[in-house]
Amino acid sequence: MVCHGLRKVYDGKLGLFRKQSPPVVAVDHLDLTIQRGECFGLLGPNGSGKTTTVEMLEGLLSPTAGDVRLLGLGWDRDEQALRERVGVALQETHLPEKLTVEELLTLFRSFYRRPRPLADLLAAVELDEKRRSWVGKLSGGQRQRLAIACALVGEPEVLFLDEPTTGLDPQSRRQVWGLVAAYRARGGTAVLTTHYMEEAERLCDRVAIVDHGKLVQVGIPAELIAALPGGHVVELELEKSAATRLDIAELRALPSVSEAHLSPEGVWSLAVSEPERAVAAALALVESKHCGLARLGTRKASLEDVFVALTGRHLRDS
Amino acid sequence: MCSWRLPEGTFVIADSPERRPHPIVQLTLMRLREMGREPGVLFWAFGFPVVLSLALGIAFRARGPEPVVVGALLGTSPEVHQALVDAKVRVKDLDSASASTELRAGRISVLLAPPAVPGQPLTYRFDPSRPEARNARATINGILQRAAGQREARLVRDEEIHEPGSRYIDFLIPGLIAMNLMSGSMWGIGWVVVHMRVRKLLKRLLAAPMRRRHLMISLGLARLVVIPIELLIILVFSRIFFGVQVTGSYVALLAVAFGGSACFASIAIAVASRAQNTETVSGLMNLVMMPMFITSGVFFSASNFPDVVQPVIRALPLTAMCDGLRAVMIDGAGIVGVLPYLAILALWGVPAFTLGLRYFRWR
């Protein structure tokens, strides 16, 4: 799958009593290449243009400029053929509540030339016992699995999942991850958007980090993390109102610390290569400034830190 | 699971995993299931018209002649009083203050004022713009003149008719059917389409290889299933309770019912083609339907409106449907008799559908 120079501009809203608001650039010249068989993640905060991008890839939004090719085909000419081979789970769809699980899947099966057998689908998303329940009576996790089942009906070669686990509890989230893994085991290509780092690190072979509609970085999660200076993170949380008593230059000057960043919640993150040395030095600094220490932790660097390093912002800030 | 026998004598099992369900059938079933499992929808489609016709049928049921009530000011002669009472006219004795209140409120139709000087005429005081007052004046005048010795100069005989077909309920039922089919098609298509759009269901269906025309056809088919049930319920009900009959051809009746529903379904597609939320589409549909509710002669004859606007009213689709149904049910029209009405419905429906699809917002 290739997209080239992808761009989407929304016209400003034409208000009755106010001037037309300026056009919004949701996606700005995005180039992506996704290989067959890989799981590709679009990673970015809310409003970064993930959904707009993925809907253009799905052929549900027409780009203002640029083009999308997938499986060697384009949406403009081969839509019907592509629809048979691509599965889509939208960010939120309110599936008909008064239909049973079985009825809904039968409806979706009717659209495809070679649909996956019903029993097989129900087993794949673990909704066997709920086959005669109304969609409206399902839990959030069950509904999400049903939405994924609808995307899997045509045995798609490419599966798009837009924020598949947003708002789900950890248990349901793990079930969804299991579904994606099972789909990939059958040889499928998956494209998903998320703002959960853990999800991207676990599921994706490669991730594209997007911010403000622009591509910031593409790469293998482990490599992106390894490319960070240090590779470890020391987090310092000081008692209220004490956070600003530390100075970014002082923290950077500590041994083995290469970068420091203060989150809006008041937590200092230090990128370090030798956590033991950095922690000892940081504690000494805190002591000398007479700040109360609320929490101190060290962890390995994650994609979240990659995002912070690249954009200077946290994923869930905006 | 169901099975049936083919001519060759083989059995085919439906619903087997290999058999692919047809998308039109499945989409239609989706609509019917959503409707059938929603008690509110069932009431508005089937129960409400029955309740409305019952209420209006009772309110406007055929009654005997209204009793004439007149007021008599103090001093009205006993002979006049007696003559009226003998002729079953209710006479209220009033002083002049209360008399004018009673007259204004319409509780008496005519006030009798005795002559100030004997030999002067008896005065009938009434408001000629009130039909019942003119009526009462004519009635009591006849009674008093006959009591005073006047004789009929021409021999006449009254013959009262109470034929089905001439009553208000016979006029009302076709109007209610037309109104119900209009609302059913507008809400059942317009609102439903926008609701699907709001829920992103439309988008989700398009992300599957669903043909757009299959969805449109299935919306129509779902109506096609519901319309005969709606018709049957109200026809049977009005037949049993009010003796309302269909004097013309049932084929013509179905033609007008389906033609009208198709026309309003097309208008609904046009109204719903761009709307992004259900509030907008509800407002637009009321904007389209309300003028027709008022002017198209559902509850009373459209000919009560001034002559200037008659051509406009006659050209409205709901008027065509009301008139078409009345032509069949009351005047006994056949299929040829309703062709002009079907033509008007087509003139609205075809362009509405074409434009609606042209500008339809699928995503």
The 10s digit of each residue's pLDDT in B318-352 is 999 999 999 999 999 999 999 999 999 999 999 99
Task: Give chain B positions within 8 Å (CB) of A134.
Answer: 37
Confidence of residue A318 (pLDDT cuts 50, 70, 90): very low
Task: Give chain B positions within 8 Å (CB) of A84.
Answer: 209
Query: Do A84 and A218 share a domain, yes or no?
Result: yes
Provide the pLDDT for residue B7: 44
Residue A197 belongs to some domain of the structure: yes
From B26, B204, B206, residue closest to A106, measured CB to CB:
B26
Confidence of residue B3 (pLDDT cuts 50, 70, 90): very low
**Residue closest to B256 by CA, chosen among B233, B237, B231:** B231
Query: Do A70 and A105 share a domain, yes or no?
Result: yes
As given in the structure block, the two tokens for residue B59 are: 């309110």
- Taken as a whole, chain B contains a residue count of 363
From B25, B199, B209, residue closest to A94, measured CB to CB:
B199
Residue A166 belongs to some domain of the structure: yes
Query: Do A171 and A91 share a domain, yes or no?
Result: yes
Nearest Cα residue in chain A from B24 = A110
As given in the structure block, the two tokens for residue B344 are: 């008007």
Confidence of residue B62 (pLDDT cuts 50, 70, 90): low
Residue A66 belongs to some domain of the structure: yes
Please state, in angstroms and rounded to a whole number, the distance separating the CA atoms of residues B193 and B268: 9
Residue A317 belongs to some domain of the structure: no
As given in the structure block, the two tokens for residue B221 are: 């088919």
Shortest Cα distance from A88 to chain B (angstroms)? Answer: 6
Nearest Cα residue in chain B from A113 = B20
Query: Do A162 and A204 share a domain, yes or no?
Result: yes
Shortest Cα distance from B346 to chain A (angstroms)? Answer: 32
Task: Give chain A positions within 8 Å (CB) of B23.
Answer: 107, 110-111
Nearest Cα residue in chain A from B209 = A83
Please state, in angstroms and rounded to a whole number, the distance separating the CA atoms of residues A227 and A225: 5
Please state, in angstroms and rounded to a whole number, the distance separating the CA atoms of residues A286 and A247: 11
3-state secondary structure A278-302: HHHHHHHHHHHCCCCEEEEEEEECC
Measure Cα distances from A111 to A135, B33, B92 in Å.
19, 18, 78
Note whether A87 and A159 are within 8 A (CB).
Answer: yes
Query: Do A193 and A178 share a domain, yes or no?
Result: yes
- % of chain A surpassing 70 pLDDT: 94
Nearest Cα residue in chain A from B362 = A60
Query: Do A248 and A120 share a domain, yes or no?
Result: no
Query: Do A249 and A281 share a domain, yes or no?
Result: yes
Q: Residue A238: give its domain's CATH number.
A: 3.30.70.920
pLDDT for B359 beyond 50: yes
The 10s digit of each residue's pLDDT in A1-30 is 777 778 778 776 655 555 666 778 888 888
Higher pLDDT, A243 or B197: B197
Residue A211 belongs to some domain of the structure: yes
DSSP A100: B
3-state secondary structure B224-238: HHHHHHHHHHHHHHH
Q: Residue A115: give its domain's CATH number.
A: 3.40.50.300
Residue A196 belongs to some domain of the structure: yes
Task: Give chain B positions within 8 Å (CB) of A118.
Answer: 17
Question: Which residues, other chains included, contact A16 with Cβ-Cβ below 8 Å and sequence gap of 6+?
Answer: none
| Residue ending a domain, choose from A174, A193, A224 | A224
Interface membership of A108 toward B (CB under 8 Å): yes
| Residue ending a domain, choose from A224, A251, A267 | A224
Query: Do A107 and A256 share a domain, yes or no?
Result: no
Query: Do A256 and A206 share a domain, yes or no?
Result: no
Confidence of residue A159 (pLDDT cuts 50, 70, 90): very high
Shortest Cα distance from A71 to chain B (angstroms)? Answer: 16
Cβ-Cβ contacts under 8 Å between A and B: the total is 81
| Residue ending a domain, choose from A224, A250, A283 | A224
From B21, B25, B30, residue closest to A109, measured CB to CB:
B21
Note whether A243 and A268 are within 8 A (CB).
Answer: yes
Higher pLDDT, A317 or B212: B212
Query: Do A53 and A192 share a domain, yes or no?
Result: yes
Query: Do A192 and A267 share a domain, yes or no?
Result: no
- Cα dihedral B302→B306→B308→B309 (10° resolution): -40
Q: Exposed, middle or buried by CB within 10 Å (0-12, 13-18, 19+), for A171?
A: exposed
Q: What 3-state DSSP class applies to A154? A: coil
* E-assigned strand segments in chain A: 2-10, 24-33, 39-43, 65-70, 73-74, 86-89, 158-162, 189-194, 206-211, 214-219, 232-238, 257-262, 267-272, 293-300
B210, A90: Cβ pair inside 8 Å?
no
What total number of domains does chain A contain?
A: 2
B20, A115: Cβ pair inside 8 Å?
yes
Please state, in angstroms and rounded to a whole number, the distance separating the CA atoms of residues A283 and B263: 79
Query: Do A133 and A191 share a domain, yes or no?
Result: yes
Q: If residue B125 lies in a helix (H) or strand (E), which one and from where to where?
A: strand B123-125
A117, B26: Cβ pair inside 8 Å?
no
Domain with A146, as residue range(s), is: 2-224
Choose, out of A60, A86, A102, A111, the residue to mutate when testing the contact with B (most B CBs < 10 Å).
Answer: A111
A99, B33: Cβ pair inside 8 Å?
yes
Shortest Cα distance from A46 to chain B (angstroms)? Answer: 19
pLDDT for A295 beyond 80: yes
The 10s digit of each residue's pLDDT in A237-263 is 887 766 667 788 888 888 888 888 887
Task: Give chain B positions within 8 Å (CB) of A106.
Answer: 21, 26
Residue A192 belongs to some domain of the structure: yes
DSSP A72: T
Residue A63 belongs to some domain of the structure: yes
Most confident of A160-169, A302-311, B14-23, B81-90: A160-169
ipTM of the complex: 0.85
